Amino acid sequence: MRAVVQRVKSASVHVDGQLVSEITSGLLIFLGISETDQQSDIDYLATKVANLRIFRDDELRMNQSLLDVGGQALVVSQFTLYGDCRKGRRPSFTAAAKPERADALYQAFMDQLSQMGIPVQAGVFQAMMEVELVNDGPVTLLLDSSKLF
């Protein structure tokens, strides 16, 4: 499971010109799910995202987590995070989970964040979305449940 996590002042998703979700201060999370992901990947990544100390404290140091600041999460499914661009000019997406399985794990990831007390908003699975955000920092991190960085 891969995530691009961005600290934001605000973020929103529109589909067909209609607002479908929005958050104020928190994290915009682009979530990619592979064929081999399972519950342990959800557990790892949800816990990591909720507890990353990337929000400023009173001394302006990145020392607080999403849980500490009472922030929100906007989670957008992003199968292209598993695009393999090593050969040729067109990415291969064979490592990405099939839609039915990916949607179930996407929902489970958001449910886990919610159970931790994080208000969660979602994109629309498999839709063409317009994602708007106001970066805070900017702070952008890459997380992967199968790799240690």
Instruction: For strands 26-32 and 55-56, give the pairing.
Output: unpaired
126 is catalytic: no
Q: Which amino acid is at 130?
A: E
Please give the Cα distance from 109 to 106 (Å, whole number): 5
From 6, 72, 78, 112, the catalytic residue: 78
72 is catalytic: no
Please give the Cα distance from 147 to 52 (Å, whole number): 17
From 38, 80, 126, 140, the catalytic residue: 80
C-beta of residue 109 within 8 angstroms of C-beta of residue 118: no
From 6, 55, 72, 79, the catalytic residue: 79
94 is catalytic: no
**Residues identified as active-site:** 78-80
